[in-house]
Chain A
Amino acid sequence: MQNNIAITPELVAQHGLKPDEYKRILDLIGREPTLTELGIFSAMWNEHCSYKSSRLHLKELPTKAPWVIQGPGENAGVIDIGDGLACVFKMESHNHPSYIEPYQGAATGVGGILRDVFTMGARPIATLNALRFGSPDHPKTRHLVSGVVAGIGGYGNSFGVPTVGGQMGFHTRYDGNILVNAMAVGIAKADEIFYAKATGVGNPIVYLGSKTGRDGIHGATMASAAFDDAAEEKRPTVQVGDPFAEKLLLEACRELMQTGAVIAIQDMGAAGLTSSAVEMGAKGDLGIELDLDKVPCRETGMTAYEMMLSESQERMLMVLQPGKEKEAEAIFIKWGLDFAIIGKTTDTLRFVIKQHGEVMADLPIKELGDQAPLYDRPFVETPKRPAIDPKSVTPLMGNANAIVKLMGSPDFASKRWVWEQYDHLILGNTVQSPGGDAAVVRLGDGPRGLALTSDVTPRYCEADPFEGGKQAVAEAYRNIIAVGGTPRAITDNLNFGNPERPDYMGQLVYCIRGLGDACKALDFPVVSGNVSLYNETNGRGILPTPTVGGVGVVDDVSKTATLAFKAAGEFILLIGETKGWLGSSAWLATIAGREEGAPPPVDLEAEKKHGAFISSLIQDGHATSCHDLSDGGLAIALAEMALAGNMGAKIDKLPEGLPNHAALFGEDQARYLVTVKDQAMAAIILRRASSAGVPALMLGKTGGQELTLPGESPISLERLKKAHEDWLPSYVAGEI
């Protein structure tokens, strides 16, 4: 393949560059680019790397707090969690690859996000994931569910990090475009964080890890194939993950970091060698020169173009202290990994690529990033939907049956089948396993720990992107509070449709505003994230899905709460106000088949106040169990607490002035359920609530093997459990 072929408009288009973007390239470099250069620009200026549609709006997110060590802009965010420790975390999407090849797509998604975290000097201690599939009836869904779950487990289990939480939902709007968002969390010493910024002229740039092959050279492959005389079989564009190599890479990198040899480090993720090298140079105001003849390759005859665009996995780039090369090499050889010095830093601010002694690319390094196109795309606000009066909706079935049906519906059914395929116990620190509100992971021998969760309710975001954005943050906040943690910071993964459509762009803009408002009000800043656009199925965008990954600190893991009812005869209290909000509720969607109405408004002041109240109950040891209320409302929360504890409850009282279905299934926000030991304690808590201005109501008592609600026939736990546990295994087995 020739490097200096004429660049035609077709070639430019095949590289995903618009004519005016190409013009910008010509203006920047003052000549026609070589093919390799065109490839480099296309990689740096695509949506994924340049955030050209979202950058303007992401600026609105609050990213600061006294405990934030590193906000967005590095491989992962970093917060101070006390005791000299830092928590390093980020979430990233692998949506499109997972639809093409679910196992490898999901596996390499996990691999990529783990690398982002350990690149910063942290040891990964937990992963989470957020999955959205199409309708269960869609012919591909079953295969995608099995493949994605196996891929996530396959990678994380082998790498040796517990997968402690996540979410999984189904909706027809994801039929042709599933979402696979993976989050990794690591721990480092607060003063031993590593960054991507290169320093020093003439320092060696080393390549580490696995060899480079022609993996994942996406759409651009076709362009290159057209210039390849050797007719070869059409190459798959999927990357294959090697968790074993990644585990070795982790250990080798950590050993090397200890030696003080590492000046800068950057993993090779999307756009591999190109973006990692450019980032290191540009951040350090240095030029970079690479000699591709030195790059360890898995295949023969790779061109400069292919090497610069390859997305082979399990690779790293580092700038080393001069003189430390031998020491570094010995470590990598011990771990059986490739090590090669492939270039050096320069003072030219140019990105120079050589192969076979020829210059294949010579570009201004800062401009590759700084001058990337930035779009202020037109957007329109989603029209407001009317609020639904709870009294105007007549239930289609009895409330007891509706609870059973909801608990066995795809979104609410137990995800045990999923998380039993994930090693959630390795490292011996998982205090709260998947299945609760937030996972709790102890740090070392304790007593400190982290509370981790991932949340979003796409149905709300579709109905009202602003409120939906707020709600995603509020729910992550509540989940952390409910286990006894202090919410600290979030990472987000913004999954949206085509930003060139003003309606979808509007969803992105308003969701970001909602996230931002909630983060500000709740002191819960954004420290890292990822944007995935152009998610659509048959020309229709997915539901707007701004996934939030929340991290909280737990001061003492022995003082946490779980959602399981603990003992018979305990008193159940509802904290927060119930108005019976049925708009965009799960009940309305699943039982009445209507996805309508405004979603529940989120009162951030109430979230804060109620959260503080719950925290104090848990800290004082008064709450014997705790669960936040989210979609499905009070009824689902009660059912989940009963099943988790294998202990029924008798409810005597529901929030007043509402029809039962609205009291039970309304999705008003800022609510929690707690249990307390006895009546005396319940009275104390009610008094405390009233003086704090927090609505609280005593509902009834735990006990028995049934869930009994006022005016409804009792539901046996056995029936509830069967509905809840059977759906997913039967579904994947093809039995339903």
Chain B
Amino acid sequence: MKSAVITFPGSNREGDVIRALHQASGAEPLKIWHQDHELPQGTDLVVLPGGFSYGDYLRCGAIASRSPVMDAVRSHAAKGGLVLGICNGFQILVESGLLPGVLMRNAGLKFICKMQHLKVCRANTPFTSAYKKNQIIKVAIAHGEGNYIADDETIAMLEDGNRIAFRYCDAEGDTEKGNPNGSINSVAGIYSKKLNVLGMMPHPENLIETLVGGTDGRGLFASITAHKGAA
């Protein structure tokens, strides 16, 4: 599998996701600088990593979403290529119009870093085939602006289209009790219409080893690898 991890000024979790992809696929992802205008030939997966691109100044992801490389990411997505945006990457996807909605300040107005349970809303996608539907997994969150908000119409479109990827929940799967940041319907991640673009706030890339918190994040990278293997 050929993956390209985009680095923006202020990205800081690119190493973490590179490690996870490498572990799952055995191949070393390429690091792409935000000023590049093209993706490497044959790129299967584009990752927009976590971090504070441009310091999170103005609005999270806003400045990065206008980077030269984003046009290439857009056309990659339009052709059905896989795009994964994690945390700041999700914010960039939303700002660039590849996914609907906005991510606002957490309801508690504080940055939150902790272990968080998620419900996998559907398993039959390129990103989640290694999980079971409604499986509860434990991953990390680390963000100050992950409060997903969209107008009623958009929410209805996402819900009806079965495009919610993950919801926050507690250990028992209660999505209301487990919501850490005020997101509408406890949304933690969403898909594009064709399910090839996934944006999510939590960090599966930090949960890939027993020694460092657990391995519930591995499934996501295993799914992507399996999807590419099958394709």
Q: Which chain A residues have a beta carbon within 8 Å of chain B's beta carbons?
A: 150, 153-154, 157-160, 242-245, 247-248, 335-336, 419-431, 442, 446, 557-558
Question: Quick one: which of B145-175 are within 8 Å of A by CB?
Answer: none
Interface size on B, residues (CB 8 A): 30
What residues of A have a CB within 8 angstroms of the CB of B209 in the complex? Answer: 428
Given contacts A420-B112, A420-B114, contact A430 B52 (CB under 8 A): no
- Contact of B110 with A421 in the complex, beta carbons under 8 Å: yes
**Cβ of B57 to closest chain A Cβ, rounded Å:** 7
Given contacts A157-B142, A336-B9, contact A242 B211 (CB under 8 A): no
Alpha-carbon distance A242/B54, docked complex (angstroms): 10
What residues of B have a CB within 8 angstroms of the CB of A158 in the complex? Answer: 10, 12, 52, 55-56
Partner of A160, one of B12, B140, B203, B213: B12
* B179 at the A interface (CB under 8 A): no
Which 6 A-B residue pairings sit nearest by Cβ, starting from the closest?
Answer: A160-B12, A244-B55, A158-B52, A423-B142, A428-B16, A423-B113
| Nearest CB in chain A to that of B55: its residue | A244
What residues of B have a CB within 8 angstroms of the CB of A335 in the complex? Answer: 9
Alpha-carbon distance A419/B112, docked complex (angstroms): 9
* B13 at the A interface (CB under 8 A): yes
What residues of A have a CB within 8 angstroms of the CB of B142 in the complex? Answer: 157, 423, 425-426
| Nearest CB in chain A to that of B53: its residue | A244
Alpha-carbon distance A160/B13, docked complex (angstroms): 7
What residues of B have a CB within 8 angstroms of the CB of A442 in the complex? Answer: 211-212
Question: Quick one: which of B1-34 are within 8 Å of A by CB?
Answer: 9-10, 12-13, 15-16, 19
| Nearest CB in chain B to that of A162: its residue | B113
- Contact of B111 with A427 in the complex, beta carbons under 8 Å: no
* Known A158-B52, A421-B110; 19 more pairs at CB < 8 Å: A153-B111, A157-B142, A158-B55, A160-B51, A160-B52, A242-B55, A244-B54, A248-B10, A421-B112, A421-B113, A423-B111, A423-B142, A425-B142, A425-B206, A426-B16, A428-B206, A428-B212, A430-B213, A557-B211
- Among B16, B55, B57, residue most surrounded by chain A Cβ atoms (within 10 Å): B55
What residues of B have a CB within 8 angstroms of the CB of A153 in the complex? Answer: 111
Partner of B12, one of A154, A159, A242: A159
- Contact of A427 with B55 in the complex, beta carbons under 8 Å: no
- Contact of B52 with A243 in the complex, beta carbons under 8 Å: yes
Given contacts A242-B55, A244-B10, contact A425 B211 (CB under 8 A): no
- Contact of B212 with A429 in the complex, beta carbons under 8 Å: yes
What residues of B have a CB within 8 angstroms of the CB of A243 in the complex? Answer: 52, 55
| Nearest CB in chain B to that of A433: its residue | B213
- Contact of A424 with B113 in the complex, beta carbons under 8 Å: yes
What residues of A have a CB within 8 angstroms of the CB of B203 in the complex? Answer: 425
* B205 at the A interface (CB under 8 A): yes
What residues of A have a CB within 8 angstroms of the CB of B208 in the complex? Answer: 428
Q: Is the interface of B mostly helix, strand, loop or mixed?
A: mixed
- Contact of A427 with B113 in the complex, beta carbons under 8 Å: no
- Among B13, B15, B203, B212, residue most surrounded by chain A Cβ atoms (within 10 Å): B212
What residues of B have a CB within 8 angstroms of the CB of A557 in the complex? Answer: 211
**Cβ of A209 to closest chain B Cβ, rounded Å:** 14
Q: Contact flags (1/0) for B39-83 with A, using CB distance below 8 Å?
A: 000000000001110111100000000000000000000000000
Given contacts A242-B55, A428-B19, A557-B211, contact A247 B112 (CB under 8 A): no
What residues of A have a CB within 8 angstroms of the CB of B144 in the complex? Answer: 157
What residues of B have a CB within 8 angstroms of the CB of A154 in the complex? Answer: 111
**Cβ of A642 to closest chain B Cβ, rounded Å:** 20
Q: Contact flags (1/0) for B111-147 with A, using CB distance below 8 Å?
A: 1111000000000000000000000000010101000
Alpha-carbon distance A421/B108, docked complex (angstroms): 11
Partner of A425, one of B15, B51, B57, B113: B113
Question: Quick one: which of B183-205 are within 8 Å of A by CB?
Answer: 203, 205
Question: Quick one: which of B85-128 are within 8 Å of A by CB?
Answer: 110-114
A-B contact pairs, 29 of them (CB 8 A): A157-B113, A158-B12, A158-B52, A158-B55, A158-B56, A160-B12, A160-B52, A243-B55, A244-B52, A244-B54, A244-B55, A247-B9, A247-B12, A247-B52, A248-B9, A336-B9, A419-B113, A420-B114, A421-B113, A422-B111, A425-B203, A427-B16, A428-B16, A428-B19, A428-B205, A428-B206, A428-B209, A442-B211, A557-B211
What residues of A have a CB within 8 angstroms of the CB of B12 in the complex? Answer: 158-160, 247, 426
- Contact of A157 with B205 in the complex, beta carbons under 8 Å: no
| Nearest CB in chain B to that of A424: its residue | B113
What residues of A have a CB within 8 angstroms of the CB of B56 in the complex? Answer: 158, 244
| Nearest CB in chain B to that of A560: its residue | B211
**Cβ of B52 to closest chain A Cβ, rounded Å:** 4
**Cβ of B80 to closest chain A Cβ, rounded Å:** 30
Alpha-carbon distance A158/B212, docked complex (angstroms): 21
What residues of A have a CB within 8 angstroms of the CB of B9 in the complex? Answer: 244, 247-248, 335-336
**Cβ of A630 to closest chain B Cβ, rounded Å:** 26
Given contacts A420-B112, A428-B19, contact A247 B212 (CB under 8 A): no
Alpha-carbon distance A311/B81, docked complex (angstroms): 48
- Contact of B211 with A558 in the complex, beta carbons under 8 Å: yes
**Cβ of A314 to closest chain B Cβ, rounded Å:** 11
**Cβ of A460 to closest chain B Cβ, rounded Å:** 32
- Contact of A427 with B15 in the complex, beta carbons under 8 Å: yes
Alpha-carbon distance A420/B110, docked complex (angstroms): 9
**Cβ of B148 to closest chain A Cβ, rounded Å:** 20
**Cβ of A418 to closest chain B Cβ, rounded Å:** 11
| Nearest CB in chain B to that of A420: its residue | B114
What residues of B have a CB within 8 angstroms of the CB of A336 in the complex? Answer: 9
Given contacts A247-B12, A442-B212, contact A157 B52 (CB under 8 A): yes
Given contacts A244-B57, A425-B142, contact A430 B212 (CB under 8 A): yes
Alpha-carbon distance A153/B106, docked complex (angstroms): 15
What residues of A have a CB within 8 angstroms of the CB of B19 in the complex? Answer: 428
